[in-house]
Structure 1
Amino acid sequence: MDNSVLNRFYEDNVKMTRDETSQNVNFVTPLVNDILQYVHERDKRFQIQPLNVGSYYSHLKVSRADEFDYSVVLDAGSSFSWSTGTPAYYGFNGNNEVVRTSIPLPSAPVGKCFTDISGTIPKWNSERSNEGPACLTIDNDIIPIKVKRRFKALVSEAVNRPQIRQYVDAKRLSESPAATLTISHPNIAGGTISVDLAPIIKLHIPFKPEFGWPRSGARWPSCTKIQEIKTEGIHEVAKDPFYWSLSFVMCEKKLIDGIDSNGTCRKKSQRIMKKLRESWCPKGTKQIITSYHLKNILFWECENRPSDEEWTNEKLSVRIESMCYLLIQHIQRGNLPLYFHTGVNLLKNKDRDVLDKV
């Protein structure tokens, strides 16, 4: 592998066309603002100004500006901390309504809020409107599936207006935290655009020692960047139906911001890896190894190779090869730790045979 081949591959296959990108951004931005304005007018708890997240806003997108991710802040009006008591149990009853019980229902895993990347169950500020279809709580616990249903309903209303519904389709509620919109319009370059709008509660939860970050003795990121990330803290998203899941999305965004300020090739390496994945992932396995896995590989490679001298453009091929071998090692072990929480294995529950194919 040499730099000339990689640079040619980058120019031909990875870089986005500036005019096409500008055209799509200029179309998507006012549309998203209009939808969120409508949602906010119907329910003030959902803030108008979203958090720009995802690969496009982190400058890690490849080929086309056809996916945009936004986190929509749910204003819970309180401060929160880690819960330490016995978890409440929630599940669906026969009418698909969320209920609280003294024992776990089949749809409510025991101790879910103390495993994987689940966190607290935030309490609602009782002074806020929380009745009828707008009710998001049970016994003042903010329930993720209620938030998702309320948010998705309002987004669907916004999309169903005559000026929008002819070219925007809102997908049905799924396990994803986001409401996904598929946009088709003559002013879009290159086909359709996918937009994810995911409710988030900004809790600024502090890191716990057992998360294993920052690591003692690590020389990357800088002390200034570590403090910036700690100040941002951890937020929560509605991934699980009943218990909020920790979100490191803003920590990751802050970690990536300025990552190449000294003219290094960290983002370029990551974008090449993402494009290569589309080629070497066998058919039907692309969701086994995702761009999020590759983002964490980038973070681990940066920590393993902290010096900017290891990330000069002359070392591009060295870094790509190193990241590939690092990914292979984790796949062989069946364990890829989340960079900000090493207790979380991003390959957990992945099919071993499929991982071997990858």
Structure 2
Amino acid sequence: AEALPAARSRAPAARAPAVPQSVAAVPDGAVAAASRRSPPASDALRLREVLSRLSLPREDVSEASNLVNKAVSHLVQAIRGKDSFFSSIEPHNAGSYYEHVKISEPNEFDIMLVMPVKRLQLTESDDTGAYYYVSFKRSPKEKGWLKFLEEDGKLSAFKMLQALRETIKQEVKNIKDMEVTVARKKAGSPAITLQIKNPPSEISVDIILTLKAQQSWPPSTQGGLKIEQWLGRKKRKDFRFKPLYLVAKQNKREKVLRGNTWRLSFSHVEKQMINNHGNSKTCCESNGLKCCRKGCLKLMKFLLEQLKMKHPKELEKFCSYHVKTAFLHSCITWPNDTDWHLGNLEHAFQQCLEFFVDCLQRSQLTHFFIPQYNLLTLEDKARHHFLSRKISHELNNGFPVFHENY
């Protein structure tokens, strides 16, 4: 992801086919009108057409992922060898590409570089329940940690990122058969961004420094992940026994940005939920019924991407994590596979959007794992209402933005 993973909008938008509109425009506004009508068959046809265009060509994906794997593998070996402190670091794949819900072109990847740690002491840095100061319950056996501790014993994300960035900057020069550079640091971003030349385009890889601890999730997560009716009580228990992940991320609510905060990350659980999303175990398997959950998520992401292109200033604070969160809440609101039958794509998509619009109108989108954390801050209420109006307009008019050429 979370206080939000930075919106990644460098990729050119995927283009949907231009389909002539024959529906009379309905003004912007509440979605009530849309929810009263069943989507016409033409809407369904258009959505399926758009969805088919969003599927990435397999050979393009394979070529891009091979380049990324080669570059990351080289860097991980070099990082382990250069500093014994980083010898246990391991790469984990994250993000939409690995959840198989990537849209646009296969030129953006997220890789977590994971450091296993023991016996962490977490102290909340604010009231969101997402950001923490990290220290050790006991002095770590690996003395390499000491150079990254502040005077008060807090683990400095800034110092660790700086050390990692320097090593990577030196090492990219030694990667053979491809041109790799490190992008300039973005303020507040937890990522070290690699740029891999892949004519005629460029592949961007966000490397995210992550701590992994085999310990209980903090109390702020207790009431989250309400998947009992959707994926089952046992699955929730299994997920909560998974390791705790923290990513290096500045908390912008702090008056003085010291770079020593860490944010909870649940991308490993999100990936499993999205890839194994059925209420029944056979959902979308070769011998089971197919559903439209992933299709809805792709369309929601594409809709936000297209609207952001039209209204970059007004929608700059929104990113795909808002959409993913609304989608996950929709999955527990309608937990049964029958609610997501493949033939009901347009109805399911409409329900997801209506749920999201309701959240925007109330400026309340609860983090899926941390119920006390609202991803929509009240000071941005006007932006929330702007996006809700734009989505309502699209919903009421057969999604004209899907068929405009940019």
Match for 2:316 among 281, 287, 303? 287
Q: Distance in 1 between matches of 2:85 and 2:133?
A: 19
Letter aligned with residue 103 of structure 2: V
SS at match of 2:103: coil
CA spacing shift, 1:150–1:114, aligned 2, 3 Å: farther
Matched, 1:206 2:220: no
Q: Distance in 1 between matches of 2:219 and 2:90?
A: 32
Normalised TM-score (structure 1): 0.82
Q: Distance in 2 between matches of 1:122 and 1:172?
A: 26
Q: Distance in 1 between matches of 2:127 and 2:365?
A: 20
Match for 2:142 among 128, 133, 156? 128
- Give runs of aligned pairs for residues 176-187 of structure 1, distance below 5 A: 176-186=189-199
Q: Distance in 2 between matches of 1:341 and 1:322?
A: 23
Normalised TM-score (structure 2): 0.73
* Distance apart, 1:355 and its partner CA: 2.4
> Residue 260 of structure 2 corresponds to which residue in structure 1?
242
* Distance apart, 1:350 and its partner CA: 5.7
> Residue 338 of structure 2 corresponds to which residue in structure 1?
309
SS at match of 1:122: strand
> Residue 143 of structure 1 corresponds to which residue in structure 2?
156
CA spacing shift, 1:214–1:173, aligned 2, 3 Å: closer
- Give runs of aligned pairs for residues 45-124 of structure 1, distance below 5 A: 45-46=85-86, 47-76=88-117, 78-83=118-123, 112=125, 115-123=128-136
Q: Distance in 2 between matches of 1:274 and 1:335?
A: 19
* Distance apart, 1:115 and its partner CA: 4.2
> Residue 22 of structure 1 corresponds to which residue in structure 2?
62
Q: Distance in 2 between matches of 1:247 and 1:142?
A: 17
Q: Distance in 1 between matches of 2:365 and 2:273?
A: 19
Q: Using CA pairs under 8 Å that are at least 6 residues apart, name the structure with larger relative contact order, 1 or 2.
A: 2
Does 38-47 or 324-333 show the bigger shift?
A: 38-47
Q: Distance in 1 between matches of 2:262 and 2:160?
A: 11
2:363–2:378 CA contact under 8 A, matched in 1? no
- The Cα offsets for residues 274-294 of structure 1, whole Å up to 9 and x where unpaired, read as 112222344214432211111
1:156–1:170 CA contact under 8 A, matched in 2? no
- The Cα offsets for residues 32-55 of structure 1, whole Å up to 9 and x where unpaired, read as 111121111112333453111111
Match for 1:197 among 198, 203, 207? 207
Structure 2 unmatched ranges of 5 or more: 1-38, 251-258, 285-290, 388-406
* Distance apart, 1:8 and its partner CA: 0.9
Letter aligned with residue 153 of structure 1: E
Q: Distance in 2 between matches of 1:348 and 1:82?
A: 24
Matched, 1:232 2:232: no
Matched, 1:152 2:165: yes
Structure 1 unmatched ranges of 5 or more: 84-110
- Give runs of aligned pairs for residues 270-281 of structure 1, distance below 5 A: 270-281=297-308
> Residue 78 of structure 2 corresponds to which residue in structure 1?
38
* Distance apart, 1:174 and its partner CA: 3.2
SS at match of 1:74: strand
* Distance apart, 1:210 and its partner CA: 4.6
Letter aligned with residue 111 of structure 2: Y
Q: Distance in 2 between matches of 1:176 and 1:45?
A: 23
- The Cα offsets for residues 171-213 of structure 1, whole Å up to 9 and x where unpaired, read as 3253111111122133xxx611110111111124434555322
Matched, 1:297 2:291: no
SS at match of 1:64: coil
Superposed CA RMSD in Å reads 2.5
CA spacing shift, 1:299–1:162, aligned 2, 3 Å: closer
Q: Distance in 2 between matches of 1:224 and 1:200?
A: 27
Task: State how many pairs are aligned.
Answer: 323
- Give runs of aligned pairs for residues 253-272 of structure 1, distance below 5 A: 253-260=271-278, 261-263=282-284, 264-272=291-299
Q: Distance in 2 between matches of 1:45 and 1:114?
A: 33
Matched, 1:220 2:241: no
Q: Distance in 2 between matches of 1:308 and 1:326?
A: 18
1:53–1:253 CA contact under 8 A, matched in 2? yes
Match for 2:187 among 174, 178, 183? 174
Q: Distance in 1 between matches of 2:125 and 2:218?
A: 18
Match for 1:353 among 374, 382, 385? 382
1:80–1:203 CA contact under 8 A, matched in 2? yes
